[in-house]
Amino acid sequence: MQNTIASIIAQDAEPQIITGSHDSTIRLWDIRKGDRAKTCLTNHKKAIRAMVAHKKEYTFLSGAADNIKKWQCPEGKFLKNFAGHNAIINSMALNDDGVLFSGADNGSMRFWDWRTGYCFQKDQAKVQPGSLDSEAGIFASTFDKSSTRLITCEADKTVKIWCEDETATPETHPVDMAAWTAQSRQRKRY
């Protein structure tokens, strides 16, 4: 390692852990052998502060200020970029419905479709009264066991619980269907 390790995840299917570092590298470790990283991925240009693994797909995502990237395990084959969250991503969480959350240093929040990489919702964290706007940063996140509520830990010293707006309709919360469809049809290019 050349720098601080900022994120770590473990795979359920294999004795493998994956680390993300401030030196912009991802390393895949075989914990069965207690071996050094068998693979070092250098696709990011910025520090990797967040990672999340899919429970069933055998894929994982890494988040940095330059992009969110999707990878295939166990060898770390690059699959695609999730572009559009132009901030320092500190945290990511995934629910059982394939909704990915990414939270950033500046309080920006994005919700993505895991399969396509389409960003279908954007929001901004609101600081508690008396806090500075610069304290909007999101540093940790998880979905609860029901996968319906998002819990965030933020720089304004709060834990916030977010839930889906059950009154939302296509009219009140439109989704850009043309972009969604185009993203869904995109072919892999290597």
Secondary-structure class of domain 88-190 per CATH:
mainly beta
For the chain, give me the number of helices (H) and strands (E)?
1, 15
99-111 pLDDT, tens digit per residue, is: 999 999 999 999 9
Global pTM exceeds 0.85: no
Domain-wise residue ranges, the chain: 1-83, 88-190
Bridge partner list, 140: 153
> What's the topology of domain 1-83?
Thrombin, subunit H (2.40.10)
State how far the Cα of 79 lies from the Cα of 86, in Å rounded to an integer.
20
State how far the Cα of 101 lies from the Cα of 62, in Å rounded to an integer.
12
Same fold, 1-83 and 88-190: yes
- Report the pLDDT value the prediction gives residue 90, as an integer from 0 to 100: 95
34-56 pLDDT, tens digit per residue, is: 776 667 888 888 999 999 999 88
Q: Is the Cα torsion angle 39, 101, 3, 44 positive or negative in sign? A: positive
132-155 pLDDT, tens digit per residue, is: 877 889 999 999 999 999 999 999
